[in-house]
């Protein structure tokens, strides 16, 4: 438990916004996100780094925010579920989970989505085995695994279409400026 009398001014970059907070630097990042910044995408599951419900992206990599102190993300970019797209324009991975109806209670979804975003940055066209391997430490108590597998495969497709359309747009703009 962090000692509140040991608070320091800490600057964070969360969801592309600079935030300054007076907090104990050893406090778990999860508590800062949920209690101080009111970002409730990351969930408290086990508090032990085992279930993945609290995952966030730190410099593009999925990490368990219950198990790292807030001071460890100073100078880094933190993205939570709230920072992925918007309700009007969902991130392709979020859209894939919605389209695939990959949820029952939904408690694991934050971790599944953040884990998938981090994973697909490394392997853009994964096999079933690679998906299973990547998400095996994100726990779903409802047994929604078949739909989650479908969602991750769809997410890979949507991300690749997104990339193609960005490239296409860029090449049209380049042609127009010639």
- Which positions lie near ligand FES, rule CB under 6 A? 44-47, 49-54, 64, 66, 103-108, 140-142, 144
105 close to 142: Cβ distance less than 8 angstroms: yes
Helix (H, G, I), strand (E, B) or coil at 76: coil
> What b/e readout covers 39-51, taking b as 16+ CB neighbours within 10 angstroms?
bebbbbbeeeeeb
Residue 116 corresponds to which tokens in the numbers above?
């998938």
Phi and psi, residue 9, nearest 5°? -80, 125
Q: Pick the closer one to ligand FES by CB: 12 or 140.
A: 140
CB of 53 to ligand FES, least distance (A): 5
The C-alpha atoms of residue 46 and residue 66 are separated, in whole angstroms, by: 9
CB of 28 to ligand FES, least distance (A): 9
Q: Pick the closer one to ligand FES by CB: 93 or 103.
A: 103
CB of 48 to ligand FES, least distance (A): 6
Give 4: exposed, middle or buried? Use CB within 10 Å, 0-12, 13-18, 19+.
exposed
CB of 10 to ligand FES, least distance (A): 20
CB of 170 to ligand FES, least distance (A): 38
Q: Pick the closer one to ligand FES by CB: 64 or 91.
A: 64
For residue 172, what is the DSSP state? H
Q: Pick the closer one to ligand FES by CB: 7 or 104.
A: 104
């Amino acid at each position: 438990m962090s000692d509140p009398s040991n608070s320091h001014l800490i600057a964070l970059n969360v969801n592309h916004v600079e935030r300054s907070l007076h907090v104990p630097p050893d406090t778990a990042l999860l508590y800062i996100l949920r209690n101080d910044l009111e970002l409730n995408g990351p969930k408290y599951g086990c508090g032990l780094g085992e279930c993945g419900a609290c995952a966030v992206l730190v410099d593009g990599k999925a990490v368990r925010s219950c198990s790292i102190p807030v001071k460890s993300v100073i100078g880094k970019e933190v993205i939570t579920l709230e920072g992925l797209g918007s309700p009007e324009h969902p991130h392709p991975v979020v859209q894939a989970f919605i389209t695939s109806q990959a949820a029952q209670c939904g408690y694991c979804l934050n971790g599944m989505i953040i884990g998938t975003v981090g994973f697909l940055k490394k392997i853009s066209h994964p096999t079933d085995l690679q998906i299973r391997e990547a998400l095996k430490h994100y726990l779903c108590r409802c047994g929604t695994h078949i739909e989650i597998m479908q969602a991750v495969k769809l997410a890979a497709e949507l991300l690749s279409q997104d990339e193609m359309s960005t490239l296409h747009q860029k090449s049209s703009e380049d042609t127009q400026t010639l």
